[in-house]
Amino acid sequence: MRELQPELLDQLPPGDPVAAKIHRDILRYNRMQGNFEWMRRVLSVSLQEGDRVLEIAAGEGQLLTALSQDGLIKRASRVAAFDAICPRPSGCPDEVEWTVCRAEDFESYGEFDVILVCHFLHQLPEEALRQLGKRLGGARLILAAETRRHPLAVGLCRASRLIGFSAEGIDDGLKSIQAGFRGEELKTLLELDEASWQLTIKETLLGSYRLVANKAGQK
């Protein structure tokens, strides 16, 4: 069963040196798991000219920065992001609208066609996921890269100390895995029904849980 525990990163202010270590480790996890590259591949064939793109809980903006480097987000007519803690990062692309707010307080989900979320949904309890799923119903495409709740993911996270990951980052990573997803859990919790959405779910050996939700009948 999923088990949610408070993660240290969410309790630290921006600029805290421990928070910086954990952000560094999260970026390394994403690179090792290939999450940014996976999103780039999906968007390269799915992002349409004029789409409005939103990243939920964007952290230090690494995903949007990566997507801007190969010109993908230039297809969009609008790009926005928000995070509950992090102010606008210094390296964030100029075209990105940045807001500091919590996911439950963001009021403009319905203005966006494409929703991106990386390593955040696992932090939400079941009712919050259901409510968020309802608010994302106006989107055409949802991409989520989350933590896979699996013993192999636990072992790999613990072993990451051997390649220099911090104790704080590993501890938060283990909590993230325990709160993560397996099988069709995320689809069910967001209440994305197959009559409205074309859904693809993949779990990787390196601990990533990936969901692609395309609005049925739309490219």
Q: Identify whether 90 is part of a domain.
A: yes
The first and second tokens of residue 178, run together, are 């325990």
Q: Identify whether 207 is part of a domain.
A: yes
Q: Identify whether 3 is part of a domain.
A: no
* Residue 200: partners with Cβ closer than 8 Å, 6 or more residues away: 210, 211, 212
Q: List 214's β-bridge partners, or say none.
A: 141, 198
Give the residue among 117, 127, 72 at the shortest CA–CA distance from 95: 72
Residue-level pLDDT at 73 = 87
Query: Mapping DSSP to helix (H, G, I), strand (E, B) and coil, where does residue 207 land?
Result: coil
* Planar angle of CA 69, 164, 20, nearest 5 degrees: 55
Give the residue among 140, 150, 72, 146 at the shortest CA–CA distance from 112: 140
Composition of the chain by helix, strand, coil, percent to 5: 45, 20, 35
Q: Identify whether 62 is part of a domain.
A: yes
Give buried/exposed letters for 71-84 (b at 16+ CB in 10 A, else e): ebbebbebbbbbbb
Residue-level pLDDT at 15 = 87
Range of the structural domain that residue 13 is part of: 8-215
CA atoms 157, 162, 163, 169: torsion sign: positive
Q: Identify whether 1 is part of a domain.
A: no
Q: Identify whether 59 is part of a domain.
A: yes
Strands 114-118 and 208-215, by their bridges, are unpaired
CATH number for the domain that contains residue 42: 3.40.50.150
In the chain, the number of structural domains is: 1
Q: pLDDT truncated to tens, each residue of the chain (219 aa)?
A: 999 999 999 999 988 999 999 999 999 999 999 999 999 999 999 999 999 999 999 999 999 999 998 788 889 999 999 999 999 998 888 889 999 999 999 999 999 999 999 999 999 999 999 999 999 999 999 999 999 999 999 999 999 999 999 999 999 999 999 999 999 999 999 999 989 999 999 999 999 999 999 997 665
The first and second tokens of residue 132, run together, are 């968020």
